[in-house]
Structure 1
Amino acid sequence: MRARGLLKSARTLKKSDRLKTEFLANMSHEIRTPMNSILGFSQLLYRDLPASKKIQYVNRINDNGLYLIKLIDDIIDVAKIEADQVEIEKSWFDLKELLDEMLIQVTQYAESHGKQHLSIRFDMDECMHHLYSDRFRVRQILTNLLQNAIKFTKDGTVSFGCTCLDKHWLFYVKDTGVGIQREYLNEIFDRFRKINPADGNLYRGTGIGLAISKTLVELLSGNIYVESEPDKGSKFTFKLPIESSQSGFSSLNDNPNGFSFPTGTKKTILVAEDEEDSYLFFKDLLEIEGFETIHARNGKEAVEIFKSRNDINLVLMDLVMPVMNGFEALVQIKAINRKIPVIAQTANAMNTDEEKCRNAGFDSYIAKPVKKDLLLIKINAFLHIE
């Protein structure tokens, strides 16, 4: 009996090692393919080309860069799952607001992947709008499921939403795509297991998104399951408990201090950033939008500049800088004027980093690589710009 158990364990380990080897080989392919596009189109941009062609190449570079960021995030999550180090940070948040964001995100994702013709539908019960859970992780789960739905749906509809059912939130993502063969349904959530869809075509991806989603759902005290039929589509459903918390609902509002801004038509933003390329990106972006920028190369310089000027409307603060880091600089700047809005920006984009920044006293947070539209939304909210 014991021998059979050992033999079964050995076979399981052997299968796990084989899947990891296949995963690493596939990962190499998944990294090199977008890098080939990024470097290739970058080289083509040096040529004398029509503006329309250059825009096309820039869009390809951007899409492949975003794909690599998602890939890196997934690899980090897998490593943390393997080490049993995934952290869950629960708080009250507006679920309707999150799902509205997801609708915008998934529509843009479909358009950027040439699937403007897909019908994207969203539905939500009106039972209540606030959920006590980990907002970052709920968003991550929905993102994985929705991006998969779009990837495997050529025509038809992708729909998602949630409803209240027996003390649970019931989320779903449904598509009219290629579907999954029945024999693979029990393996689809396995780590390092990439399942080919029913149409037999090869699709981009590592196959770890569903495994990550399953782990996250379980860490949130829920469960996830799938229904699928070849050529008809798939439906992924996950349940999360409706929890109560003695802390009650609290919302992290942008501009909570009611800061009174200096008068004048042109707003001035102090950018504390030690990386020259990052600063040039912020400078060009913000000046195109009509802002004036001041550059500080470290936290100490940011504090000195802030002391010497009274026309600064907002501070964009990198966290990791020489001489003085962003957290230390924040303390000194808030001591001078506690109402000045300070937005943290960092490449350390773990889900706990935002909470750390909030607790330290930052008014908002944005992760690198910075998304232009999201940054401008945050800045305009603080500066009351429509």
Structure 2
Amino acid sequence: MIDDILKISKLDTGNIEICDEEIDVDSFLESIELTFKSEIEHNKLKLLIDNNKKTRILSDEQKIFQIFSNLIQNAIKFTDEGVIQLNCLVFEEKVRFSVKDEGIGIKEQDFEKIFERFGQTEMGAARRYGGTGLGLSIAKGFVELLGGKIWCESEMGKGSEFFFEIPAKILEVKEKKNDVDNQSLNEEIAGGLSFLVAEDEYSNFVYLNELIDSERNSIVHVYNGKDAVDFFKKGKSFDIVLMDLKMPVMGGLEATEEIKKINPKQVIIAQTAYATSYDEKKCIEAGCNAYISKPINPQQFYALVNQYKKKKILII
């Protein structure tokens, strides 16, 4: 609830930077699939991805991920059985994504109301199905921040499809030779490493678990920074510790300071969904050595692990 209100506040004040970067849409949709795979399967649903062609675009990956996250969570909430489908269509100067479900559906007169923050329709659903009643409003805010539009098509009892369309520069598609490189990177990190993952969002942990490959590396999961610090106080050690910045009980920055007191040589790499210059400054001041942003790019993640795999590192 607090996190959603903070996002609304940042959207209202314009205190959010747009960071355009190259996005391989195929890889991006695969990362979304990994992130939500466990939750979707737990709810006895299926996830399908329909991408019309190999595409690279220039846009803000984090914002698009946040939009997808809110729409997928909404689809899971209102779908008891069936399929959730992600779609992508590319036009000359824009790209259209959508999330389609086979849930309860929405009345036509509510198509606009559902995007209102704390609106009667959304809050009524929140009371019945859980949630804050802000998810769709936040998604709309991010879409409009990117200069796009969002809308819904639905039929009661048959499901809904949420579309969002944003302007984007379409880039030349590169050869897929990187697939071999990615595979070799993955193979290089596999082999007896120990990981401590401090992450309060279970879906994020599931994604990290997929990247790490738990069959070849040992993984311990904690839900806050205090529990991570306690491991070090007890004399435990790990090859790599992955920890989020925003967590209950103790956040990542405080955990960094405490672990640095115990092990000053520990290398620390900050990881957060809010990748701004201010966030980076705070991480460095707290003692972090480097910085990586969510959603985690597999290539960047493997490169970091390969860089520090012979050392003990803390990724926060």
Contact 1:344 1:366 in 2 (8 A): no
Distance 1:99 1:355 in 2: 26
Distance 2:31 2:20 in 1: 19
Count of residue pairs the alignment pairs up: 245
Q: 1:342 to 1:96 in 2, by over 3 A?
A: farther
Q: What TM-score results when the alignment is normalised by the length of structure 1?
A: 0.52
Matches within 5 A, 1:269-288: 277-281=227-231
Which structure has more relative contact order (CA 8 Å, sep 6+)? It is 2
Q: 1:349 to 1:143 in 2, by over 3 A?
A: closer
Distance 1:200 1:342 in 2: 42
Name the residue aligned to 1:76. Answer: 6
Contact 1:161 1:171 in 2 (8 A): yes
> 1:241 aligned to 143, 167, 178, which one?
167
Q: 1:91 to 1:282 in 2, by over 3 A?
A: farther
Matches within 5 A, 1:1-386: 71-112=1-42, 115-116=43-44, 118-128=45-55, 130-195=56-121, 202-243=128-169, 277-281=227-231, 291=238, 319=253, 342-345=267-270, 350-352=274-276, 356=280, 362-365=289-292, 380-382=305-307, 383=309
CA RMSD of aligned residues (A): 4.6
Residue by residue over 1:200-253, the C-alpha shift from the partner in whole angstroms, topping out at 9 and shown as x without a partner, is 9911012111111111111111111110111011011111112279xxxxx9xx
Residue by residue over 1:167-194, the C-alpha shift from the partner in whole angstroms, topping out at 9 and shown as x without a partner, is 2111010011100111111211112215
Contact 1:177 1:232 in 2 (8 A): yes
Distance 2:278 2:58 in 1: 17
Distance 1:180 1:292 in 2: 49
Query: Percent identity over the alignment?
Result: 29
SS at match of 1:210: helix
Q: What TM-score results when the alignment is normalised by the length of structure 2?
A: 0.62
Name the aligned partner's letter for residue 276 of structure 2.
T
Name the aligned partner's letter for residue 82 of structure 1.
D
Name the aligned partner's letter for residue 280 of structure 1.
D
SS at match of 1:76: helix
- Greater strand proportion: 2
Distance 1:276 1:172 in 2: 39
Larger radius of gyration: 1
Q: Which runs of 5+ in 1 are unaligned?
A: 1-70, 246-250, 252-257, 270-274, 295-317, 334-340
Distance 2:233 2:259 in 1: 22
Distance 1:266 1:153 in 2: 40
Name the aligned partner's letter for residue 154 of structure 1.
D
Runs of 4+ in 1 over 6 A off after TM superposition: 197-201, 265-269, 323-326, 376-379
Structure 1 residue 362, shift from structure 2 partner? 4.8
Name the residue aligned to 1:52. Answer: none
Name the aligned partner's letter for residue 203 of structure 1.
Y
Residue by residue over 1:100-124, the C-alpha shift from the partner in whole angstroms, topping out at 9 and shown as x without a partner, is 0111222212234xx12x2211121
Residue by residue over 1:343-386, the C-alpha shift from the partner in whole angstroms, topping out at 9 and shown as x without a partner, is 4246x7523269837x979555378xxx9xxxx978755429xx
